[in-house]
Amino acid sequence: MLDQPTNERRLTIARAMAEAMQQEMQRDPSVFVMGEDIAGFGGIFGNTRGLFEEFGKERVRDTPISETGFISAAVGAAMDGMRPVVELMFVDFFGVCFDAIYNQMAKNTYFAGANASVPMVLMTSTGGGYSDAGQHSQCLYGTFAHLPGMKVVSPSNAYDAKGLMTAAIRDDNPVVYMYHKGLQGMGWLGTEAGATVNTPEEEYTVEIGKAKVVRKGTDVTLVGLAMGVHNALKAADKLAEDGISAEVVDLVSLVPLDRETVINSVAKTGRLIVVDEDYHSYGVSGEIIASVTEHDISKLKASPARVTFPDVPIPYARNMEQFCLPNPDKIIDAYRKM
């Protein structure tokens, strides 16, 4: 694992994901990719670009719009010696195929007493902010992370995106790989510049289940993942102008959840704000806060806060959606109210 990128090769998350898949496909003939529009089109969000040209239609398979069919098929193939990487185009579409995911992919290892494994990756796009409304903008982190039996990761930058994809493909367990559309580096969706970072050409892994302190601080801990990390970093910059030192923790993985890194940070700062683009209730933000408070509530100098999406479907109109989304100002407000 390389912690410090040494070259100056900046990739988007889309390219980093594709490169990880390319290298793993070169290394391991059991790896193949399937999903809707992932072959010639290169993935709606660019993350399989170039794979079809290099590996052909046997290993880079466009599927019918039949998510139950092809995700279940991935489960069967994974249990029979293959390592499928399968794409659910928008995480919002999980509704048509969740049985394949949470009743099969996530449980078969347990039902086999760990005598069988399901080494597959389910990659899926998350997030809004570009007015794609209520069936194409959700995050649903908590929905997936709640259900046991599948690892869940979500990168905030291209370096992690590549290393997590490589780790996910090599993992003998099912991994749900959630990539945020707004970080993807696709110009037509707008993009967060901070997600495009130096990314080594050689293969490497980023450990699944390990959070990262991406900015050190002493006054407050801001915890987020994917887009939430960038909102937290921007808020930290602004808070620093007022002499407030914010530490930012990038969760990187939701399952396994690295509670220790969060707890250690809060032990130092005494204040906790969780930033989560997923719905407010019953989700990641509640889990993080519960993990900290049940560990040692005396470390907290103030009640913890969360900056999340309110419990409403994602509205279409730009003003309403932006009103609901987390942003740096809301994080700063949350800090001021502590």
Partner 1 sequence: MQPTKEQLLWMYENMVVSRRFEEAVEKAYLEGKAPAFNMANGPIPGEMHLSNGQEPVAVGVCAHLDANDIVTATHRPHHQAIAKGVDLKKMAAEIFGKSTGLSGGRGGHMHLIDPAVNFSCSGIIGESCGPACGAALSRKMQNKPGVAVAFLGEGAANQGAFHEALNLAGAWDLPVVFVIEDNSWGISVPKSEATAVARNDVRAAGYDMPGHYIPGNDPYAIFDIAGEAIARARDGKGPTLIEVETYRLAGHFMGDAEQYRPEGEKDALFAKDPIPKMRERLLADGHAAKDLDELETRAEARVTEAITFARDSAYAPDTDALTAVFV
253 binds partner 1 per the rule CB under 8 A: no
Beta bridge partners of 180: 126
Q: Which of 29, 40, 148, 256 binds partner 1 (CB under 8 A)?
A: 40
Considering the rule CB under 8 A, would residue 37 count as an interface residue with partner 1? yes
Q: Out of 294, 317, 329, 333, point to the residue binding partner 1 (CB under 8 A).
A: 317
Distance set, CA 23 to CA 51, 55, 119, 204, 323 (Å):
10, 11, 17, 10, 41
Q: Report the C-alpha gap between 224 and 221 in whole angstroms.
A: 10
Q: Does 193 help bind partner 1 (rule: CB under 8 A)?
A: no
- Comparison of 26 and 68: residue with beta carbon closer to partner 1: 68
In residues, how long is the chain?
338
- The one among 82, 213, 316, 338 contacting partner 1 by CB under 8 A: 316
Taking a C-beta distance cutoff of 8 angstroms, is the pair 163, 206 a contact? yes
DSSP 101: I
- The answer to whether the CB of 124 falls within 8 A of the CB of 88 is yes
Strand residue runs (E) in 253-302:
253-255, 272-279
Using CB under 8 A, which residues numbered 75 to 104 contact partner 1? 92-93, 95-96
Dihedral-angle region of residue 128 (phi above 0 means left; psi in -120 to 50 means alpha; beta otherwise): beta
**131 is a site residue for partner 1 (CB under 8 A):** yes
The yes or no reply on residue 14 touching partner 1 (CB under 8 A) is: no
CB of 105 to partner 1, least distance (A): 17
SS3 40: coil
Among 82, 133, 147, 240, binds partner 1 (CB under 8 A): 133
- From the list 136, 170, 180, 215, which residue makes contact with partner 1 (rule: CB under 8 A)? 136
Any contact of residue 130 with partner 1 (CB under 8 A)? yes
User: Which tokens hold the place of 272?
Assistant: 């906790």
| Residue in 187, 193, 241, 242 binding partner 1, rule: CB under 8 A | 187
Q: Is 230 one of the annotated active-site residues of the chain?
A: no
- Comparing CB distances to partner 1, the nearer of 47 and 269 is 47
Contact in structure between 67 and 97 (CB atoms under 8 Å):
yes
Residue tagged 């969060």 (tokens):
262
CB of 239 to partner 1, least distance (A): 25
Does the protein bind partner 1 through residue 134 (CB under 8 A)?
yes
Binding residue for partner 1 (CB under 8 A) from 5, 10, 50, 62? 62
In whole angstroms, the minimum distance from the beta carbon of 216 to partner 1 comes to: 33
E strand or H helix at 215, and its extent? strand 212-215
Residues 6+ apart with CB under 8 A from 307: 231, 273, 274, 275, 276, 326, 330, 331, 334
**Positions of E strands within 9-162:** 10-11, 31-35, 60-62, 83-90, 121-126, 151-153
Is residue 66 a contact residue for partner 1 (CB under 8 A)? yes
Query: Is 136 annotated in the active site?
Result: yes
User: Nearer to partner 1 by C-beta: 215 or 230?
Assistant: 230
Which of 237, 281, 312, 333 contacts partner 1 by CB under 8 A? 312
The minimum distance between CB 12 and partner 1, in angstroms, equals 15
Binding piece for partner 1, criterion CB under 8 A, among 129-137, 154-162, 254-262, 277-285: 129-137
CB-based burial label for 131 (10 Å; 0-12, 13-18, 19+): middle
> Of 19, 24, 36, 67, which one is the catalytic site residue?
67
Enzyme catalytic residues = 67, 136
Residues of this chain that interact with partner 1 (CB under 8 A) are 36-37, 40-41, 44, 62-69, 92-93, 95-96, 129-136, 187-190, 310-313, 315-324
